[in-house]
Chains A and B, each alone.
Chain A
Amino acid sequence: MPILEVESLSKEYKGKGKMNVFQALNGINLSVDSGELVAIMGPSGSGKTTLLNILSGIDTEYSGVVRIAGTSISEMSKNELALFRRQRMGFVFQDYNLLDSLTLRENIMVPMVLDDQEVEDINSRTDETLSLFDLGEVKDKYPYMVSGGQQQRAAISRAIINGPEVIFADEPTGNLDSKSSSTVMKTFAKLNALKGATIVMVTHDPFAASYCNRVLFIKDGKMLLEITRENKERRAFFDRILENLAFIGGGEDDL
């Protein structure tokens, strides 16, 4: 059953003058089923992050339809979207997006605190998430006191604290070394396997993408192709991703 549906999604950036229009997304159609772990790949400037920002309701200037769990987010006001984002979506960002003035534990509970949920619920779910991602020892430390990997795991914990229907991740391993990247991706895979979480991830990193079930490639704002892992080994899927990347092209910095 699709949890995320996108129809004829287009986005233009207008500059000064009538001719100065940049087509960032051009008629994208997409469907993600519940429990899928999907990666979106493409070269720099292909529209990956624009797509993710629209799917997650951060960017509201577009044409087309985006439905999450049957609800069209295109018709929501910015404040409704903010609440929808907080209560029904989870986010993981390249720069972790943790608040410097709060400890990791406090950062994780922020969405529930903003929702004014029951104290017992907040505490029990925060503690449960902390132990799931092995953050017990550093829970009372501030973000700048822990490693990038630990910060990203805290960010993932925060993303799932409200039991979201879909988790969006924007370059979640972009700032991490290979060991931390591997830990973070294993965390996503665990989340997907154990909790059936739907995860949509934008990444440059073929290694990170190889943990997914499906990889979508976009270029110049258009969906070029998609590949699925099926029952392949991760290593074989990784090679296939590399082949496709070579096929669609892109700068060295995209790899």
Chain B
Amino acid sequence: MTFRRMAFQIFKANLRRYLLFFLCSSFTIMVFFAFYSLYTNPDFNDPYQVNGMVSGNLYAPFLVMRVFAVLFIVYAQMAFLKFRKSDFGLLMVLGMTSHNIRKIILLENSMIALASILTGLGAGTVFSGLFFFIISLFVDIGNSAFSLTLDSYLYTIKFFGVIYIAVIGIHLLLTLRYNIVRLLQESRTAERSFLHGKFTGVFGVILLGISVFDMIIHYNPDDARMMLINLGVSMVGVYLLLSGLCDWMKLIFLRSTKAYHKHLMFSSDLNYTLGRSKIVLSLITFLVFITVFLSGIIFYITWNAEAIPVKNNPYDIAYSEVFGKNSISPKTLSEITDHGATPLLSHQKLEYIDLFNFKVFLDQNINTLIGSDYHVEKDHFLNLAIVAQGEEWKNQRPEMPTFDLKLSSGKHTLYSQGILFNMVFNPVPNLMNGLHVIVNEEDYMALKAENKNAIGNLQLLNFKDWKKTADIDAKLNSALAKYNKDNTESWYGNERQEALVFSTKSRISEYLQLKESGRFGIFVITFVGLIFFGASCIVLHFSIQTDLEREKIKFGKLNKIGITSKEVAQMIGGPFKVLFFLPYILGIALATVYIISSSRFEMSVALGPFWFCLLVGGAYLLFQVLFYYLYTRIYTRKMLAHIQLLKIPLTEQDSTPIYIEI
């Protein structure tokens, strides 16, 4: 028998072990490929075909998907090699050299990696079509067509190829440290961890505290790096906290002799469980955090699809006439507004001067419109920030200190009198491509006299029921586009872009977009959430499997001393509760803190998203409770059967869908 033949025989004998690992890897690659195909679909990313809010909702989940793919494949590979370590020890006892072991690792893992990538891509090709079809049922994707590009295949191969090469390379290096005795004991000894002890836990709590404090105090919506760094620090904190948790629990139990005796077995089991599962628990905490955080935001936005457009648009429909664009006649306008599903209540106008980079308003016009009493002093101006977020946005919108009026008489510098945060009008597209300033009458008139062509008029329409204005808004946009096409020169040489820039800004269109993007967001996040839930179940299963041999030996020994089935169930349930629920509680707690600190700035609300976060977290926890009961029940029954406290026919054991080798 040649070496290659023997390695293949070993591979064949271990096929059942490989199967779950292979399926997990293939599934991850399949989902990754489907996401990437959609993410790079040119039609789906075309803002003229698919609402930008919809395609934008894919960014965060796909980013998380990439992080997850790396962590999951690395972890699954590590867990798998742990299973094999005692086999390697035995093979080394029989005379295999480290070099031979390295060849086996390389051969086995390369075969799995290659098979996983090929299967993943094959299944991904079918699945991405299905994924696209399901999405088309949820949202309006216009004329977007499903397409697969060579880039999707190459990127997926490169992405996973690099992960596999790195992981296999690291494992090959680690074989240099292989020691027969340690390999054979691998399944029976607690993890030798460098990071443990009470101080590690304290340091973890401090890191968690710092990152949470920084998020609450210094959160900056424009600084995504800050959030990612804090998230990274939080995850390191979680890892260190878990590393030191066991020592803390021991310390607590030791303070009371009664507690020490009562929890003697639990405490020693936890030592092993936490020792082996720190990485798993940290990974699950991360998955739960991401799912709950993103779901909380998306559910809140969808739930508030009515409140957000009202907050962002003081008028039901607004558009701007400027540079000859959008100058439809009053007759055309009234034909549209008079024949809609809801009557027009008011039609107001606001004049401004469009200097491209700056849109200049007169203080008195603003006062007339919104009933304020702003008064701009001579040689001064007011910065106007059109934001719905209010004063909390202050740090994000800097105050411009001076503004130069370029007049024929020369440059006249105005000085800032302050910054005004007020949603004075709807953020109409052609008005939002510049900064807004308010000046006094003298300066405004001087500027107006020299920029007659740049005088714009903002048309602000209010109806009885804005939710019935969809038809009016659509007709108005058609009329504006037709007018601009028939009467003006195209600015962009592109009809769709022209229509987009000179379109209306209405509550109803934002409402419909939010509803649509919310539907898509909920679909994607539910999908990702379910995948993460499945992944967390699988990594937990992997982790429990690595401890299985030791547990079988332990319960076998306890059975000889005398242990009832109820006591076995209790002993299994204790550490399992920590494994199954601790990361969920940590992840949900972290997500709620992060959501409060970010939504306070982004949406000027804190408690709304928080409740949604708790709701999603609660639902997620409920799933986990069900999984815990199911898994613990099966595990306990099989353990009881192993120690002959319960009779389970062998055939039943073999046919159980969850892979537990007892």
Contacts and interface: CB of A to CB of B under 8 A. Distances in A.
B638 to A, nearest CB: 16
Contacts of B557: 97-99
A146 interface: no
B225 to A, nearest CB: 44
Contacts of B563: 82, 86, 114
Interface in B329-373: none
A111 B561 contact: yes
A101 B268 contact: yes
B269 to A, nearest CB: 7
B257 A123 contact: yes
B188 A119 contact: no
A122 B259 CA distance: 13
A217 interface: no
A109 B261 CA distance: 9
A122 B262 CA distance: 11
Contact of B562 (A87, A99, A101, A113): A87
A126 B550 CA distance: 26
Interface stretch (B293-301, B500-508, B564-572, B654-662): B564-572
B645 A99 contact: no
Interface residues of A, number: 30
Contacts of B561: 85-86, 91, 97, 110-111, 114, 158
Interface in B158-192: 188-190
Contacts of B560: 58, 91, 93, 97
15 contacts: A78-B565, A79-B564, A79-B645, A82-B564, A82-B645, A86-B563, A87-B562, A97-B557, A99-B557, A100-B554, A109-B264, A111-B561, A111-B562, A114-B567, A123-B257
B257 A102 contact: no
B559 interface: yes
Interface string A94-127: 0001111110001001110110100100110000
A84 interface: yes
B265 interface: yes
A78 B189 CA distance: 30
A164 B566 CA distance: 23
B270 to A, nearest CB: 10
Contacts of A40: none
Given A87-B562, A97-B560, A122-B261, 15 more contacts: A58-B560, A81-B562, A82-B562, A84-B562, A91-B560, A93-B560, A97-B557, A99-B558, A101-B271, A113-B262, A113-B264, A114-B563, A114-B567, A119-B258, A119-B261
Contact of A89 (B190, B558, B559, B562): B562
Given A106-B264, A111-B561, A111-B562, A101 B269 contact: yes
Contact of B559 (A82, A84, A106, A110): A82
B540 to A, nearest CB: 21
A114 B565 CA distance: 12
Contacts of B567: 114
Instruction: Identify the interface centre among A81, A82, A83, A99: most chain B CB within 10 Å of its CB.
Output: A82
B566 A106 contact: no
Interface of A: 58, 78-79, 81-87, 89, 91, 93, 97-102, 106, 109-111, 113-114, 116, 119, 122-123, 158
B272 interface: yes
Contacts of A119: 257-258, 261
A85 to B, nearest CB: 3
B262 to A, nearest CB: 8
Contact of A101 (B261, B262, B272, B566): B272
A78 B559 CA distance: 11
Nearest to B188: A100
A84 B189 CA distance: 31
A102 B554 CA distance: 11
Nearest to A98: B557
Nearest to A56: B560
Contacts of A111: 561-562
Contacts of B269: 101
Nearest to A88: B562
Contacts of B558: 99, 110
Nearest to B562: A86
Contacts of A79: 564-566, 645
Given A86-B562, A101-B269, A78 B645 contact: yes
B129 to A, nearest CB: 51
B187 to A, nearest CB: 11
Given A97-B557, A109-B261, A123-B257, A83 B562 contact: yes
